Amino acid sequence: MPDFTVPPPKTSYDMLTKEEKGALIRAEYSGPKEKAICDAHGLKQIGGSRTKVDGTDGVNNKSIKNASGTSTQVHLTTQKHFMETLGITGLAAAFIRNFCGNADYNYNGKDRRTIKQIDDEQIEAFKEFLDNNKRKVVDLIISNGDGITHVVYNHLEHKEYELTYQQIIDKIEDAEWKFLSGGIHLKNKQGKSYFHFQREGKKSKSNRYNVLWHIHLHLFV
């Protein structure tokens, strides 16, 4: 009989970081495997970095998010583009610049500030912006002007989940923004996250300071 007291050896996949696993999944599923999902939904595969639409039948434009865990990347953009698109200025913009940092930033030897290290007035300004523009923010991160009608969350270890654009907008109506140590979460009344905002945080300075949004499985379940 097998010895269940001895854990199985780790595979090369197990030894990857969370970010590396996400990149691997996106790379693997952006080609033939994502096409298989489109075929199952009766969609023509679109995809690519310039559109949110992964598959369409001419009427329904679906965004397909492949994930191995409880959240996955849904929107990635520069600080400048994010702030200009949403019209974020003043203290709210200062929050983003401090939270995401830049290559020349230096706060006690760090290239950004954590939320606890940012001035309260900047935190309040950005929270006020998020409260007043919840639909606008969520529309940007899931549709970005591409007319998304459905979002599919393809959990690789479980099953597919799907919501229409309007169902997502309805679900966030009572959700609230929570500023946590690692980022800003949009949570439901039960404390489950629907979306969260963090900085990209990769090692390379070329893509370390961008605005990164994740979509959570709890939005669908």
**Average pLDDT per 10 consecutive residues for the chain, totaling 221 residues:** 50 56 57 83 89 96 93 96 98 98 96 96 98 98 97 89 98 97 95 97 87 98 93
pTM of the model: 0.86
pLDDT at 17 (0 to 100): 58
Q: Is 3 within a domain?
A: no
pLDDT at 15 (0 to 100): 59
30 CB neighbour count, 10 Å cutoff: 17
Q: Is 66 within a domain?
A: yes
Q: Which amino acid is at 221?
A: V
The total number of structural domains that make up the chain: 1
3-state secondary structure of 185: strand
| Torsion angle in degrees (nearest 10) through CA of 177, 163, 200, 117 | 10
pLDDT at 181 (0 to 100): 87
- Where in the sequence is the domain holding 178, given as residue range(s)? 18-219
pLDDT at 48 (0 to 100): 81
Q: Is 55 within a domain?
A: yes
- Distance, in Å, from the CA atom of 48 to the CA atom of 1, rounded to the nearest integer, reads 49
pLDDT at 2 (0 to 100): 46
Q: Is 185 within a domain?
A: yes
pLDDT at 6 (0 to 100): 47
